[in-house]
Amino acid sequence: MVNTSQLKHPHSFTSNHVFNSLRQTSQILSIASAIGCIAHFLFLLLFIYLDQTTLAWFNVLSVAIWLTTLWFNRIGRHPISVLIMSTEVLSHAMLATSLLGADAGFQYYLWPMALLLMAIPCLSIAWSSFIAFVHMAAFTLLSVFFQTKLDSIITYYPLLFVMNIIGASLPFIATAAISRSMYASQYFLLVNLAEKDELTQLFNRRFGLDALNYYVSRKAKNTVPFCISLVDVDHFKRVNDQLGHHKGDEVLIKISDYLSKSMRETDISSRWGGEEFLFIFPNVELSQIQQRIETICADMPKHIAIEGWDKTITCSFGLIQVDKNETAESALKRVDDSFIKRKKWSLPSGKRPLKNIPTDCCGLIKQDAKDRKKRLGLFRFRCAYEGNENSFLRVHLQTASVA
């Protein structure tokens, strides 16, 4: 939870995260107000039964006070509500203990109020701490100096003590449980906001870079291999220009969903920026991951389709295995260089002759005679460079028919 006083802005707009935090605070205080009303109504009946007129009339006032705090919660005046609650609890504990004695146990209600003051961030830490300290000091003084008992209700003291201990413990435990639940939910929300890309729900660039640095440092200490891949969406600007940015976002969402589902659970998928993605493959050699990358790329057009776009949606991959003692910056530069090498051999219009493609790349092409005759040997071919000029990895192959 956060201090709601720090969430106010000079403008009228309030984000959903801030609104949810304020709503949670209001709900907790409203529950506390409702419980306070019920508890003091029961006290009213109890004191009437015990013939304690002063305490009975005081509890009539207390019920009205707790109803007032409920109204302040509804209008969002949480600090006022908390101050009224703490004043009523302190006054009630002092009056009941001074009249009935500490053995009745009414001073124990100061504990859950002190916890509520510290756990629910309606007041500043300084004010919350000060008021909570006053409650604890009052508890100590009441427990030490008010040991007298009323003879008229002497037989009821054990029952009163047990009842008040239980009555004070329940809101104490409830406040602690709600605070813990809210802390956990907001912690995971902050982690999600800090690590995830809002559009694609993949990890963001910060997380991807942290993960890469982690595996690079681990690689320097042992021989466990890992690979990284940079992926970019082909002709993404055309989709944005012709169909609009909302369709471009749809492409990114569908591609990121397809790619992340195609990876292992141990692989890390992150949006590197724009239409680029970074993938980290721990505990795997380049030769092991190469075939899977080719399969993912070849199957992509079957899974990605955009309404109003009749062209094939494809991606280009750069893939390397990180060397021992290589830095993260060096690995990123090397995998980025693979794109430069790939672009050198890519066919911008799909009409580059087969003979101009490097021999090692051509060795990866497998087509039967019928398909070659139909296509007339014209290809649009993309390669990612890795290692040296004689080593190429086929990433995407798309045949182009002759009109």
Cα–Cα distance between 111 and 119 in angstroms, integer?
A: 12
Q: Considering the chain, what percentage of its residues have pLDDT values greater than 90?
A: 31
Average pLDDT over residues 354-382: 34
Mean pLDDT for the chain?
Answer: 78
Lowest mean pLDDT among 99-103, 108-112, 155-159, 336-340: 336-340
pLDDT for res 138: 95
Indicate if the pLDDT at residue 188 is higher than 50: yes
Lowest mean pLDDT among 37-46, 53-62, 196-205, 338-347: 338-347
Indicate if the pLDDT at residue 197 is higher than 50: yes
- Count of residues in the chain: 403
| C-alpha torsion 222→226→230→231, nearest 10 | -160
Indicate if the pLDDT at residue 369 is higher than 80: no
Cα–Cα distance between 125 and 133 in angstroms, integer?
A: 12
Average pLDDT over residues 4-26: 57
Name every residue whose Cβ is closer than 8 Å to that of residue 101 and which is 6 or more positions away in sequence: 146, 147, 148, 149, 150, 157
User: Whose structure tokens read 């007032």?
Assistant: 68
Tell me which amino acid residue 234 is.
Answer: D
Average pLDDT over residues 130-148: 93
Q: Choose the most confident range, by mean pLDDT, from 109-123, 133-147, 176-190, 302-316.
A: 133-147
Indicate if the pLDDT at residue 260 is higher than 90: no
CATH code matching the domain that covers 205-344, chosen among 3.30.70.270, 1.10.1740.110, 3.40.50.2300, 3.60.40.10? 3.30.70.270
Position 396 confidence tier, pLDDT thresholds 50, 70, 90: very low
Average pLDDT over residues 159-171: 90
Under a CB-based contact definition with an 8 Å cutoff, are residues 319 and 387 in contact? no
Position 343 confidence tier, pLDDT thresholds 50, 70, 90: low
Name every residue whose Cβ is closer than 8 Å to that of residue 302 and which is 6 or more positions away in sequence: none
Query: What are the residue ranges spanned by the domains of the chain?
Result: 4-195, 205-344
Q: Considering the chain, what percentage of its residues have pLDDT values greater than 70?
A: 78
